[in-house]
């Protein structure tokens, strides 16, 4: 298996899931950067765990296939902005809405 390295947030979840299922994967590669991990999968024929968003193009053109999806593994993505002189209205609305959802 090709897996995210120990520094990746998803790795702790993968390790916990494997431990609870009493599985010890044979690790062929450990990489902290998903951009480096995802090209290994089609070239190596190894099984790997990747967020679907990272490989959506490869899934679309069928160079990768989904073997199984896990609802137990989740990765969080964050949008970070800095103040600008001109604000983008759509982004401003999205940030205001997400901020209000977090406050609830």
Span 56-71, pLDDT tens digits: 887 888 877 888 887 7
Instruction: Classify residue 21: in a domain, yes or no.
Output: yes
- The H-or-E segment that residue 2 falls in is strand 2-4
Span 13-68, pLDDT tens digits: 888 888 999 989 888 888 877 777 777 777 787 888 777 777 788 788 887 788 88
Residue 11 has pLDDT above 90, yes or no: no
| Cα 90 from Cα 34, distance rounded (Å) | 29
The domain tally of the chain equals 1
Instruction: Classify residue 67: in a domain, yes or no.
Output: no
Mean pLDDT across 69-86: 76
Full-model pTM: 0.56
Instruction: Classify residue 102: in a domain, yes or no.
Output: no
SS (H, E, C) 17-46: HHHHCCCCCCCCEEECCHHHHCCHHHHHCC
Instruction: Classify residue 23: in a domain, yes or no.
Output: yes
Instruction: Classify residue 30: in a domain, yes or no.
Output: yes
Residue 7 has pLDDT above 90, yes or no: no
């Amino acid at each position: 298996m090709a897996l995210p390295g120990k520094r990746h947030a998803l790795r702790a979840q993968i390790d916990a899931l494997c431990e609870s299922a009493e599985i010890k994967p044979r690790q062929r590669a450990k990489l902290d950067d998903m951009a480096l991990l995802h090209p290994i999968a089609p070239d190596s024929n190894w099984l790997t765990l990747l967020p679907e968003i990272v490989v959506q193009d490869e899934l679309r053109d069928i160079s990768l296939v989904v073997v199984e999806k896990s609802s137990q593994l989740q990765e969080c993505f964050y949008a970070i902005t800095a103040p600008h002189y001109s604000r983008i209205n759509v982004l401003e609305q999205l940030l205001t809405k997400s901020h209000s959802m977090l406050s609830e």
